[in-house]
């Protein structure tokens, strides 16, 4: 299963080494954010699987309406062994002017 997460946001303040006025360096910051969030989300999902809990109700969103209902116990059995990929797509709108690559 793949969990797709789309985030839209805007940079209001930045404390880092990159010059985010440059489109290339802004893309680097966005890539770093996506990688970080994908790793953190994957770790969280793995912990939830180990604990046999589904507080995000992934089962509710992924099973209906295309399959017959299963019990919570059956779902948690599938959930515990499920391989989950996480893919973030972040769109950032800076408050400052960004120099476009030509």
Read off the tokens for 10: 């805007």
Domain residue spans of the chain: 2-94
Predicted pLDDT at 67: 64
Read off the tokens for 91: 């769109």
Read off the tokens for 46: 């793995």
Mean per-residue pLDDT over the chain, rounded: 84
**CA neighbours closer than 13 Å in the CB half-sphere of residue 76:** 10
Predicted pLDDT at 57: 80
pLDDT, tens digit (0-9, with 9 covering 90-100), for 64-79: 555 677 777 888 888 8
């Amino acid at each position: 299963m793949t969990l797709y997460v789309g985030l839209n946001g805007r940079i209001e303040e930045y404390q880092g080494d990159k010059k985010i006025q440059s489109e290339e360096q802004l893309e680097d910051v966005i890539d770093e954010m996506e990688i970080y969030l994908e790793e953190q989300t994957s770790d969280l999902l793995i912990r939830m699987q180990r604990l046999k809990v589904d507080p995000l109700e992934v089962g509710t969103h992924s099973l209906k309406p295309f399959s017959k209902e299963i019990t919570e116990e059956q779902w948690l059995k599938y959930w515990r062994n499920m391989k989950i990929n996480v893919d973030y797509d972040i769109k950032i709108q800076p408050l400052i002017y960004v120099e476009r690559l030509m």
